[in-house]
Amino acid sequence: MEKHDGKIEERISDSLLHIEQNENVKILFAVESGSRAWGFESKDSDYDVRFVYIHPLKWYLQLETTKEVLEYPVQGDIDLSGWDVKKALWLFAKSNPTIFEWIKSPVVYIDDCGFRKKLLSMENQFFSPRAGMYHYLNMAKGNLQKHLLREKILWKKYFYVLRPLFACMWIEKYLTPPPMKFEKLANAVVSDCALKEKIFSLVKRKKSGREMQKIQRIDVFHEFFDKKIEHFENIVSKMPDKKIDIKILDELFFEILNDENCKSDKL
């Protein structure tokens, strides 16, 4: 697993401990998401910390519906949010790609009770190529509409269309969850050498820190976007789906709830 410098690790660790104490929860795992996990961060990129937590057993036995998400204002360069374990398992059952990305993150801050590793061992069993492709296709289309349909473009936004389209290409080719690392993803699915060269020059530029500049639109990217979006719109409904056995995740949920090592210190 990758590591950040000691000071930021300490700040993130302190923030997560504060959440556990204030919310009376146990964090099962906490990871980096966003550009620092994808491998194209700049020096001033935020630390997007995502986590899955568990409440005391009594919390799950309440009649009143309670929130399953913890979100906090950005603290300097640290952005923290997390899901309750029940929500995380439900989204895993629905093949939501976000939880699949979290468990595959190369930067892990907390990894307790073996929960993340258990989900990793089941990812191919629960991943639906159809649901995954729908998710990434809609992400690419939404980011294209929002950020890139103009002459002058904040160039870092190209990554937010390139990456989900590469994820669609991976799913079409391998029928498995795409890797987190952008470089691995691009190398696996992009065969056009000229396109790949442009992409990696953009990665190098982003890592150098000059990410807030606007540039003229890159026509070769937009041609690629149009072609791939049309292709995936035509095939997504034909991609294989998964029939899952929710009882497997029920058992994991019960196991975690009853594991003494996974309980809050306040219990």
From first to last of its 267 residues, the chain has per-residue pLDDT tens of: 555 567 899 999 999 999 999 999 999 999 999 899 999 888 788 999 999 999 999 999 988 878 999 999 988 899 999 999 999 999 999 999 999 999 999 999 999 999 999 999 999 999 999 999 999 999 999 999 998 887 778 888 899 999 999 999 999 999 999 999 999 999 999 999 999 999 998 888 878 766 667 778 888 999 999 999 999 999 999 999 988 899 999 999 999 999 988 876 544
Range of the domain at 181: 129-238
Please state whether 240 falls in left (phi above 0), alpha (psi between -120 and 50) or beta. Answer: beta
Q: How far is CA 180 from CA 36, 105, 112, in A?
A: 10, 6, 21
Which pLDDT value is given to residue 33?
94
Tell me, what CATH number does 62's domain have? Answer: 3.30.460.10
For residue 1, being part of any structural domain is answered with no
Please check whether residues 104 and 155 belong to one and the same domain: no
Q: Do 155 and 96 share a structural domain?
A: no
- The verdict on 11 and 119 lying in the same domain is yes
Distance between start and end Cα atoms, the chain:
31
| pLDDT recorded at residue 5 | 63
* 57 and 71 housed in the same domain: yes
Contact 105, 33 (CB under 8 A): yes
Res 266: pLDDT: 46
How many residues appear in the chain?
Answer: 267
pLDDT at 21: 94
pLDDT of residue 1: 56
96 shares its domain with 160 = no
136 with 234, same domain? yes
Q: Are residues 119 and 172 in the same domain?
A: no
Residue 267, pLDDT score: 41
Q: Specify if 109 maps to a domain.
A: yes
**pLDDT value of residue 207:** 80
54 touches 25 (CB < 8 A): yes
Residue 16 shares a structural domain with residue 117: yes
**Residues 111, 146: one domain?**
no
Q: Is residue 267 part of a domain?
A: no
pLDDT given at position 31 = 98
Same structural domain, 156 and 213: yes
Whether residues 53 and 114 share a domain: the answer is yes
Q: CB pairs under 8 A, 24+ apart, for 193-198?
A: 194/220, 195/220, 195/224
In a domain, 191, yes or no: yes
Same domain, residue pair 250 and 176 = no
Structural domain count, the chain: 2
The pLDDT of residue 3: 58
